[in-house]
Amino acid sequence: MEPEPRARTTALIDRRGLQALIEALADEGYRVVGPTRRDDAIVYDDLADLDDLPAGWTEHQEAGRYRLVARDDQALFGYAVGPHAWKRFLHPPVETLWTAQRDEHGLTFRSPEPAEERFAFLGVRACELQAIAIQDRVFLEGPHVDAGYGARRREAFIVAVNCGEAGGTCFCVSMQTGPRAESGFDLALTELLEADRHDFLVEVGSPAGAALLERLPHRKAGGADHRAADAVVARTASRMGRELETQGLKALLQDNPEHPRWDDVAERCLTCGNCTMVCPTCFCTTVEDHSDLAGTRAERVRLWDSCFTLDFSYLHGGSVRQSPRSRYRQWMTHKLASWIDQFGTSGCVGCGRCITWCPTGIDITEEAAVIRATAPQRRDP
């Protein structure tokens, strides 16, 4: 039986088509960024051509552990997510907000010229699309819109990739954010690597995506291609490294601020902030004001910050969250519970980065499971 006809336009491209995609994006003035191998990891960096993709590599991820491993095939997207997230580009780690100059006429404030950079992201995973959607809500909704983020976001061209491998710390199925890219992309690819072919099923997600596809050598996708792509995603979905029960999770965490597990996790927490730095939705920043020696020039710089620093909760007279216990509890309950009060969705997309990149391997899914298993009482719904 043929599958239901898809709502989206689809096509097939091969590796030449993918090379043409990178070239077409560069030709249209995009800075093409995607997965590449560096420092024994798969990071996001500039791509000049297809050879920059990590062909034939995958990774083993566990709590506090990441190792690159060679595959026995030449898959271009045969891995999950690495240490970088796209927020590095849309919400840069360091950004000058304004500079001020003092002269005989007084003070002059200047905002730096917005960068003209237009990003094309190649290889955005479903969980990452959800993370971008969450940061869109944070930065673009409400009364205080982040203009720089808005400009970068508006200009960005997104090529999603449906995951062909689940990482050891992945749990997007639990968070209902993947492994299939459902929306928020211009084009979405599914890698079809079989004995006699290496193709990519392309789904069109926007008019810009449709226009770009027209520039690439492509052919019609048939029912067998669609079934093969569905099988790739289904296989990945069945191989999640982690799971997180979300039913009643918000109430569970908000009702148990005194659970003894918080003391247990505090024994392992370094308060180093790595989980927040690698999280694709963590958005907090601090500002630093600098003045020069002569007192004629000043600037305000915005930097990625973390709720694990003492300064983060500094109010008049001291920091509110002195203990590691209070800081880990704040981060986890915000991410999984009060984020829902604040923004309408969970702050977690199930990418597993906080688990992999915690130097002591603290596992948010395990912490939640233990609290669930040992919580004294559940609040009535």
143 binds another protein (CB under 8 A): no
Q: Which of 72, 104, 196, 311 binds another protein (CB under 8 A)?
A: 311
DSSP 281: S
Q: Which of 31, 38, 235, 325 binds another protein (CB under 8 A)?
A: 38
69 binds another protein (CB under 8 A): no
Contact 32, 159 (CB under 8 A): no
Say how many residues touch another protein, by CB under 8 A.
48
x/- track of binding to another protein for residues 74-113 (CB under 8 A): --------xxx---x----xx-------------------
148 binds another protein (CB under 8 A): no
Integer Cα distance of 319 and 313 in angstroms: 5
Integer Cα distance of 279 and 83 in angstroms: 9
Integer Cα distance of 278 and 356 in angstroms: 10
Whichever of 15 and 65 has its CB closer to another protein, that residue is 65
| Sheet of strand 10-14, all strands in order from the earlier edge strand to the far edge | 10-14, 197-204, 187-194, 157-161, 119-124, 31-38, 41-46
x/- track of binding to another protein for residues 162-181 (CB under 8 A): --------------------
Q: Which residue has the tokens 């791509």?
A: 47
318 binds another protein (CB under 8 A): no
313 binds another protein (CB under 8 A): no
284 binds another protein (CB under 8 A): no
Instruction: Please return the burial class of 102, using the count of CB atoms within 10 Å of its CB with bins 0-12, 13-18 and 19+.
Output: middle
Please state at what angle helix 207-214 crosses helix 15-27, rounded to 10 degrees. 110
Task: Give the binding range for another protein (CB under 8 A) out of 100-108, 144-152, 250-258, 287-295.
Answer: 287-295
Whichever of 9 and 291 has its CB closer to another protein, that residue is 291
Q: How far is the CB of 356 from another protein (least distance, A)?
A: 7
Helix (H) or strand (E) holding 83: none
Integer Cα distance of 350 and 24 in angstroms: 32
Integer Cα distance of 241 and 329 in angstroms: 24
Q: How far is the CB of 34 from another protein (least distance, A)?
A: 15
DSSP 259: -
Please state at what angle helix 261-268 crosses helix 364-374, rounded to 10 degrees. 160
DSSP string, 22-56: HHHHHHTT-EEEEEEEETTEEEEEE-SSGGGS-TT
55 binds another protein (CB under 8 A): no
64 binds another protein (CB under 8 A): yes
Task: Give the binding range for another protein (CB under 8 A) out of 39-47, 142-150, 204-212, 250-258.
Answer: 39-47
380 binds another protein (CB under 8 A): no
369 binds another protein (CB under 8 A): no
State which of positions 242-281 bind another protein (CB under 8 A).
267-274, 277-278
Q: How far is the CB of 83 from another protein (least distance, A)?
A: 5
360 binds another protein (CB under 8 A): yes
Kindly list the residues in this chain that would bind another protein in the complex (CB under 8 A): 38-41, 43, 64-67, 82-84, 88, 93-94, 267-274, 277-278, 288-295, 303-306, 308-311, 324, 356-361
